[in-house]
Amino acid sequence: MVQLGFRKPTNKWSQGGALGVEYFKVGANATAAKMLPGIAVIKDANDFSVKESGSLGSTIGVLGYDETPAQYRPTTSSTAYALGDHVAVHRGAGRRQKMWLTTSQTIVIGQPLMVTTDGYLTAATAGTHDVYCDAAESVTTTSAAAAIWVITRK
């Protein structure tokens, strides 16, 4: 018997993507405590540094974990990067990506999501919001954020 649906990999934060991974530095204007693997990021002061994304701004990708150089990779994927760390950033459409869903959300598989404050995801309305990805699993959050697998559109 086969497992139905997407099989979530153990200890991975990204799967697939034709563009591959790119490397950036955690920028001087980033809030280090917010720079977790799975957070959407935008350009910081220069083209090769990033900071956490907000609800406004051009998201360029998602902080990775697995492909980040070992000397900069935190001990666990729930630990934030430090300012100046070299980090993997995953970019492009059609990737399965583990990201962070903000609090007070009930998301079902296939639901469109958008980037909100601090690079987290929240429910979106296609045609109204700038949809970044679609849920690859159903997740409900209450007072704490939770990881969610998505399929990126950008």
pLDDT tens readout for residues 98-145: 999 999 999 999 999 999 999 999 999 988 899 999 999 999 999 999
Same domain, 86 and 108: no
Measured distance CA(135)–CA(150) in Å, rounded:
4
Residues 54-100 have pLDDT tens digits of 877 799 999 999 999 999 999 999 999 999 999 999 999 999 999 99
For the ranges 16-20, 31-35, 96-100, 105-109, the lowest mean pLDDT is seen at 16-20
Boundary-marking domain end, from 92, 122, 144: 92
Q: Is residue 126 part of a domain?
A: yes
Q: Which helix (H) or strand (E) holds 107?
A: strand 106-107
SS3 state at 98 = strand
Measured distance CA(89)–CA(154) in Å, rounded:
13
Same domain, 104 and 65: no
Q: Answer yes or no: are the C-beta atoms of 121 and 148 closer than 8 Å.
A: yes
Same domain, 55 and 87: yes
Boundary-marking domain end, from 76, 92, 108: 92
Contacts of 4 (CB under 8 A, 6+ apart): none
Inform me whether the pLDDT recorded for 5 exceeds 80.
Answer: no
